[in-house]
Amino acid sequence: MAAFSDSQLKSASPDPSPVGGFRAGLLLLCMATGIATIIAVVIAYEPALQGEFLFDDQGSITSNPSIRDLWRMDQILAPPPRGGTTVDGRPVLNLTFALNYAIGAESTFSYHLLNIVIHLVNTLLIICLMTCALSWIQPDLSREYRWLIGWIAGLLWAIHPLPVAAVAYISQRAESLSAMFLLLAMVLFSISILRSQLIQILQVAPILFLGSLTKETMVGAPLILMLYDRAFYATSWQELRKRRSLVHLANWLVVGIGIAIGQVLGGRGSSAGFDGKLSSLDYFGLQSINVPNYFWKTIWPTGLAVDYGIQQPYDPLVSTGLSIAALIVFLASCFWYWQNPKSGFLPLAILVWMAPSSSFIPIQTQTGGEHRFYLPAAGVICSIILLLIEWATRQSKSTDHKISSTRWLIIIGIVSILLMIPITRQYSSQFATSGQLLASLAENRPSNWRAVTTRSRQLAAAGQCPEAIALCERAEHLSGNRYEAALAKGACFELCQKGSEAVAQYRQAVQLRPLEMAGYYGLGRSLKILEDRVGAVSQLTRALEIQPLAIVFCERGDIFLEAGRMAEAKADFLSAVSLDPFCHRALSNLAGLTLEAGDMQTARALFERAIACDPKDVQSHYWLAAILATNGERARALYHAKVAASLSSNPLCHELLQRLTNEEVRPQAD
């Protein structure tokens, strides 16, 4: 490829005169395709617009007190770490949730709407980047044709089922938002390519900084921008270093600073890193199976699963073979890029983007999930389309034949889009409720014990204990994991108040893995159902010796409270709060003990903290209303009494509300 001067770069874009067929102006075409894109995406994702909060959404939104006051930027941008929730170490993501909370509190519509808007923005950015790439790779095509091909690529990705997990699942906004910052940085980099390095830095670096405060996968963004620069603008690495070394240095610097800030704010806690049960070697072995699966599902999107679980069974021999194949693919991508940077850019960029979460660094709480392939799926689709365009061009013997081939590819693309929309709509409807999603997940990933356990617990809680046990036994048969099956069946029996059956299952779990905390914790809860307090305390104490968790301290504290051992109960609740400052259960019980001791002011503060952590804490609302009424703050007391009565059918809540209402106090929001 010959070197380009600045003046050549300015004139390098192909002649805009149409090669054939299109009479409409480019602006009109852009508007028409833009409207079509919005309509298609809304149709595909409409079932998820009213979807409920799912799984990680609880920790990121409903139980996240840092997002409840938009004016408290200190809390929003520096939320205390809470053990690896989706927003830990990600202040920009937390800020977007705070904006949604300010608009609609816990109404999910605004959250889903913003996710879809981000997805639409990403689609537009991909169309722009694809159109720009075609101007270099296929300069003979008219601007209208290049835009149409870019639109086909962008819309195929936008309504593809694979990205659904990052759009319909609110907490996975981290994936789509970080992708938006990378794509926006690439577009701004292209726009400012002929400007000074200072202008480029001011346009691109802040976007990358925001992205690095959204998700850690942005660590690869500076390298992707360097590869992009070399592929489409710089004629050599020497020219890149000469013309834009400061730009790329600034990119690396701001991303490094952003990720460091995220780590200072708590990072991903125990959810990622090398100090968990999953080793780097095992994790890489799993990724050698998962990543090819992502690629295949981009081409043939069936049996999709939002979560692959924590402990995926895999054949080490198959994994070793695939690991070697993955290394060969990586080396081949590097060689391809070295030989032809333009056509080799996308394959290498996909691997760079996926490396932080799908290589050697274990994500302890999730070994795989198709949301990780949100942006790479766009790269795969664009690569396939570019290869088809290249093939059609080489087969064409004349300009007319080339135009005809391009038209046929566009028609095939539009037909594919029309066929894909109902498939994506059906899949996005599964994200409307956790029950639907778990049923699908348990069906497509029976080895995912997290999904099986959660779904079986839902069935047991609904009184369908035989169905719940049958689901656990089916998963046990398919996976051979007796330990997880015992835990899952124990939880089901526990929810059905079948203490003896639950105890038997948890004892089996303890025998299978005596050094795991979960079996002892479940055994303690089950013995509590059987009113064996001594045995329950003994098992919970053993669980705490293995792994001290706030929820286990709360469970043991409740038993002490029931037994009248107030000092020990208070000590356990204090331990729970020290481990998790947002544990509303511990705060509420601690407030109750403090109130019983006669310290009304401290109790009031603790109840208020508990409500901040969980606005649906009935006990805290009730007792706070009683305290406020005693202090003469009857308007606020009435407000909390109304909340308590609206959340619970407990006669005490309604009696308090009736008493305060009869005093004719004007209601006033807290």
Maximum pairwise Cα distance, the chain: 93
Q: In degrees rounded to 5, what are phi and psi of residue 51? A: -65, 150
Planar angle of CA 426, 457, 46, nearest 5 degrees? 20
Q: Please give the pLDDT value at position 436.
A: 84
Q: Please give the pLDDT value at position 254.
A: 97
Q: Please give the pLDDT value at position 175.
A: 95
Domains and CATH numbers, the chain: 41-422 (no CATH), 433-547 (1.25.40.10), 618-670 (no CATH)
Burial of 339 (0-12, 13-18, 19+ CB in 10 A): exposed
Report CA-CA distances (Å) from 212 to 91, 243, 352: 10, 25, 15
The C-alpha atoms of residue 333 and residue 227 are separated, in whole angstroms, by: 12
Q: Please give the pLDDT value at position 272.
A: 55
Secondary structure of residue 155 in the 3-state scheme = helix
Residues whose CB falls within 8 Å of the CB of residue 408, separated by 6 or more in sequence, listed in order: none
Low-confidence ranges of the chain (pLDDT < 50): 1-23, 665-670
The C-alpha atoms of residue 313 and residue 456 are separated, in whole angstroms, by: 20
* H-helix segments, 355-464: 374-395, 399-429, 434-444, 449-461
- Measured on CA atoms in the order 81, 87, 89, 94, is the torsion positive or negative? negative
- Residue 49 in tokens: 């617009």
Closest CA to 621 of 650, 599, 597, 598: 650
- Residue 622 in tokens: 């009730």
Contact between residue 362 and residue 273 where contact means Cβ atoms under 8 Å apart: yes
Closest CA to 119 of 155, 146, 95: 155
Report CA-CA distances (Å) from 569 to 154, 345, 545, 578: 58, 61, 17, 14
> What Rg, from alpha-carbon coordinates, does the chain have?
28
AA identity, residue 228: Y
Q: What is the crossing angle of helices 374-395 and 399-429, to 10°?
A: 160
Strand partners, 272: 363
Residue with tokens 């995926």: 312
Report CA-CA distances (Å) from 302 to 160, 298, 320, 516: 11, 9, 26, 36
The C-alpha atoms of residue 77 and residue 280 are separated, in whole angstroms, by: 31
Contact between residue 151 and residue 26 where contact means Cβ atoms under 8 Å apart: no
Burial of 52 (0-12, 13-18, 19+ CB in 10 A): middle
Q: Please give the pLDDT value at position 312.
A: 63
Contact between residue 66 and residue 79 where contact means Cβ atoms under 8 Å apart: yes
- Residue 312 in tokens: 């995926």
Planar angle of CA 54, 214, 433, nearest 5 degrees? 10
Secondary structure of residue 24 in the 3-state scheme = coil
CB atoms near residue 652 (< 10 Å): 13
| Three-class DSSP labels, 253-311 | HHHHHHHHHHHHCCCCHHHECCCCCCCHHHHHHHHHHHHHHHHHHHHCCCCCCCCCCCC
Residues whose CB falls within 8 Å of the CB of residue 24, separated by 6 or more in sequence, listed in order: 32, 144
The C-alpha atoms of residue 279 and residue 347 are separated, in whole angstroms, by: 27
The C-alpha atoms of residue 395 and residue 402 are separated, in whole angstroms, by: 8
Closest CA to 510 of 492, 528, 530, 524: 524
Secondary structure of residue 88 in the 3-state scheme = coil
State how far Cα 563 lies from the chain centre.
42
AA identity, residue 193: I
Q: Please give the pLDDT value at position 392.
A: 79
The C-alpha atoms of residue 505 and residue 539 are separated, in whole angstroms, by: 14
- Measured on CA atoms in the order 474, 476, 478, 479, is the torsion positive or negative? positive
DSSP-assigned letter for residue 582: T
AA identity, residue 261: I
- Residue 517 in tokens: 């905390």
